[in-house]
Amino acid sequence: MTAPWWRAHGLDVRIIDLTGPRARVARLLRGCDLVYVCGGNSFHLMRCLRDAGAVPLIRGLVSSGVPYVGESAGAVVAAPDIDYIAPMDVRHEPATTLRAPLMRETPTPGLALTRLHVVPHVGGRLLGAAADDILRMHAGESGYAPLRNDEALLIEDGRMRRLTTGSLAARLL
């Protein structure tokens, strides 16, 4: 859904089907100047990234200076572990078995691109209550970054800046 926006801003957008052949996923990722990972269910997204062999490729791209942009679940999976997002996202297997919940003991490593745990949708109408629950569960702990729908974190050279669009519509979603 965001591809037209990126294209309108002059970017050559490649949509990568993570369920496609691993060699194709790898070839398309290796040619990227920016990696954008969209939202959805964080557990499903991370499982698809692992199954596609994209995790080491994305880590390598980022370590070589390629920017990573994560929206919602895309921001969540940048954390070292994604278990913290369980109050917001149901822990399910990929689409073929969406009705089978993951066992609690199942490891939930993320991409580990940052030490932060982004908590998206703070104050939002749809997922704001779940975001509040996560923040209460981790109150007093460092490393949790609450974000409204109109905010983003920019991490560059070890420094972090919070950016905002000021969009009232985005804040209310």
Active-site residue, 121 included:
yes
Helices and strands counted in the chain (H then E): 7, 6
The residue annotated as part of the active site, out of 42, 44, 117, 121, is 121
> Cα(89)–Cα(138) distance, rounded to whole angstroms?
16
Q: Three-state DSSP class for 129? A: helix
Tokens in use for 145? 């970054």
Q: Which one is catalytic: 42, 44, 72, 117?
A: 72
Active site residue 42: no
For 43, the enclosing helix (H) or strand (E) is helix 42-51
The residues that bridge with 68 in the sheet, in sequence order, are 35
- Residues annotated as catalytic (active site), given as ranges: 72, 121
